[in-house]
Every structure is written in structure tokens, then in C-alpha cells.
Chain A
Amino acid sequence: MKMGFGPYVLAAWLFFIGLYGIVTSRNLFHLILCISILQSSSYVLLLGIGYRTGAVAPVFSDIPVNTPAVDPIVQALVLTDIVIEVTVLALLLTLAVQIHKRHGTLDPDKLSAIRG
């Protein structure tokens, strides 16, 4: 049995559904969580790219160095990406809270300070 393209298709689906959520959102908090779904698409994609069937995690504390292991680089990239995601989300969340303070709503349809 083989993995095939399963993770890739999942990544593509998360990409699509995340964007769908952002576009149709009626609440900025909802929108921000949809961005985080969008981001997780890249985790799945990267992990899929770096996976090797039957290989171990790239930690060699208890196993010989020449054991086949999965790709450590994509894992490092995903780690970096997770940190970036959570910090950018914090910034977005702050902006959303400030919007609520100034506009009294979180509904993007009701924000009207900029137009034209």
C-alpha cells in the first residue's frame, strides 16, 4: 500500500477551503482562524514532500547514524512557519480587537472607513 498523493491533495483542499473561509467570512476572528487553516496547508505539503516510507525521525540519540531518516529540513521549515504563523495571527488579532473598539463591529461588511 502506498501513500500516493494523499497529503498533496489534502494540502490543496486546505488551501481552497481556507481561502473560501476568508472570502465568505462575516467575522474577523473567523477570518483569522481561516488564515490559520490556509497556513496549515503548507505544513501538510512540506511534510509530505519530506516524508520517506519506513524511515525514522531524524533524531539519532538512540539509533545508528546511518539509519534511513525522513527529511529534517522540511521539519525545520515547518517549525519556522508555525512560529511565524502564530505571531502574525497575534498581530492580526490585535488589529481585529482595535477594529472592534473603533468600529463597534467585527463584520467586514460593516467596515466603512475606506472606500473608493
Chain B
Amino acid sequence: MSLRTRTRLFLAAGMGLLAFFIYGLLGLPPVGQQISGYATKLNSLTVPARHITDTVTAVNFDFRGFDTMGEEYILFTSVMGVLLLFRTQRDEVEEAPRNHAPGRQAPPSSDAVRVCALSLMAPTLLFGIYTVTHGQINPGGGFQGGVILATVLLFVFLAGDYEIFRKMDAHRAVELAESAGAAGFVLVGLAAIILNKPFLENVLPLAPAGTVLSGGTVPLISLSVGIEVGAGILLLSTAFLEEALVLKSKKGG
């Protein structure tokens, strides 16, 4: 189809779909009037039953923790998929890194950038760790903290230059962390099975609400999610960095 035909066909059908969708939406109760009984139940149950003050974290890591396990594995799978798709092909050779590529002299980071990056590193690290470990009390948790932790290592890239970043050869360690994080979630769940409880049921004592250890196994899950997400985002960004900065060209061509 030409772009024109396609646009016309789409507009005809899409308008219909839009009308159909809105028609269905208008059958729902208006926004802001009520929330489901399921939600009310969880809001009232979470603090007494689980000592977790952030209900969203409780839903994510406990009541519907199995969803989150699936979600973490989607991240894991995507990372592995990206690594698979970006692997150096048989018909490709990795050429010298960008510094030596003609006309591509990578400028070294300026001192100002270095100082900024270095001085931001420590607070970001702390913030990341805080976010991962306090998900059961405040907004935040493994996912958000994990992304923040990943940015810390990207500061290393900003502070130094890419060559140092590459030479750290942390790739293997990061991949190990990625698999450990993914496996960690499952292992916390399996611990319950070993103790003859349903998968993912809490097996640790609950400290009073509002403290770091209040969530039982939730902080452990949050930690493994944090590790997995941090490692995953790092692997993703380095895979794209490699792809962007290292010349891969066809053999003999």
C-alpha cells in the first residue's frame, strides 16, 4: 500500500475504533468516584497483616509478587535478547575502538565534566541504595533504585573516558549480577516451598511497621530486583554503547 492509501484506510477504520473505544469507556463509572473493593481491602490489610506502609510495594512484591517475578524476567529476557541480537556476527570484525577510527577522534572528557561526574557519584550511589532498601516504607523500591544504581556506573564513563570503562572488563561480573538478581527472586520464592508454604509466601519475622526490616522477605526481593534491574540497565546501555562506539564492519569489506 502507498502511504496515502494506508493513511486513508487507517483514518476510516481508526476513527471507528476510537468511537468504539470511547463508547465502551463511557460505560465505566466516572473518574474519581469509587475504587474497587479489592483495592479497599488491600489498603486496609497491608499494614496490619504485612507491616508494610507503602501499599504499592506490598502489592508489587507480595500480594501480586508473582507478576513482578514475570516482569523481572521480561527485563532479563530483553537484556539477553539484546545481547543475542548485538553479538558480533561471523561475518564481522571488531575494528579498533573509535579513538583510532578516521575522523572520529573522541574528545577526552573535560575537567568540569569529570569533577561533576565524580562529585555526583557518591550521592547517587547512596540515593540508589536508599531507594532499593526503603521501598516497603516510602515510594521507591527495587526497580527505581536499580535504575539509579545503573546511572552511577555510567558516571564512571562520563568521568573517565570510554577506554577505561571498557578496560574495567566488568562485563562478566555484571552478567553474573544480572543472573544472580533474577535467580534471587525465584530463590526467595522457593525458600517458602522448602518450608512447606506456598511459593513466595513470607518466611521471615516481621519487624514493626516503618522500619527497614518491616517487610519480611520483601526487602530481600526488592534487593534482588534492584541488583537485576541495575545490572540489566547497565548491560543494555553498554551493549548500545559498544554498538555505537565500536566499529563493526564486514569481513573483507
Contacts and interface: CB of A to CB of B under 8 A. Distances in A.
Contacts of A29: none
Interface residues of B, number: 60
Given A4-B31, A57-B139, A61-B53, 14 more contacts: A13-B18, A16-B18, A20-B11, A51-B32, A69-B43, A69-B55, A72-B43, A76-B64, A83-B71, A84-B74, A88-B74, A91-B82, A91-B85, A93-B240
Nearest to A19: B14
Contact of A60 (B53, B79, B240): B53
Contacts, number: 161
A30 to B, nearest CB: 13
B6 A23 contact: yes
Interface string A29-52: 000000000000000010011111
A99 to B, nearest CB: 11
A111 interface: no
Give the contact-size bracket for chain A.
35 or more
10 contacts: A5-B31, A12-B21, A61-B210, A73-B59, A75-B59, A80-B60, A80-B68, A83-B75, A83-B229, A91-B82
Contacts of B6: 23-24
Contacts of B143: 79, 83
Contacts of A20: 10-11, 14
Interface string B10-38: 11001101100110011010111111101
